[in-house]
Amino acid sequence: MPELSEKISLLRTQAHMTQADLAEQLNVSRQTVSKWELGTALPELDKVVSLSRLFHVSTDYLLLNREFGDREMSLDRTVLRFLGYVRDIDIISKDLVGIMQDGMIDEQETPRIHEIVTELNAVSQMIEELRYCLLGQNSSL
């Protein structure tokens, strides 16, 4: 079973984040993230909670020596959260069509484009978590 240090590193790389990116998200130094990943230091409890929220995993997953706890329950929760994200895809699609109608992104549209990119990154992370849960149930995926 992976240790906390390995889980942090794995989740960070799956999210296509550098140590500096993660450090910025958590308001710590890059060296702190490096120490967590090397296992020479442990994150404080509030940082564990922040990691849990950022990567959409439970604190149990991060702290306990088991995969995702009860996999079936975790898969159910993951699917439900994913379905919540899927509802947002329709809104994102409509917003993108509206923004791109004139073929240009103006200053008023730029903040929404950044929001859309953030939302799509969250969807991508959710797909990875769903894939991870499914891999645990069926190793042929």
pLDDT value at residue 74: 63
Query: pLDDT tens string for the chain (141 positions)?
Result: 578 998 999 899 888 899 999 999 999 999 999 999 999 999 999 999 999 888 888 888 888 865 444 444 566 677 777 777 777 788 888 888 989 888 888 899 999 988 888 888 777 777 777 777 776 554 444
Residues 130 and 82 both lie in one domain: yes
Nearest-5° angle of CA 70, CA 76, CA 78?
A: 95
**pLDDT single digits (tens) 42-54:** 999 999 999 988 8
Residues 12 and 53 both lie in one domain: yes
Residues 47 and 91 both lie in one domain: no
Residues 131 and 76 both lie in one domain: yes
For residue 39, the domain's CATH number is 1.10.260.40
Contact 43, 51 (CB under 8 A): yes
DSSP for 20-51 reads HHHHHHHTS-HHHHHHHHHTSS---HHHHHHH
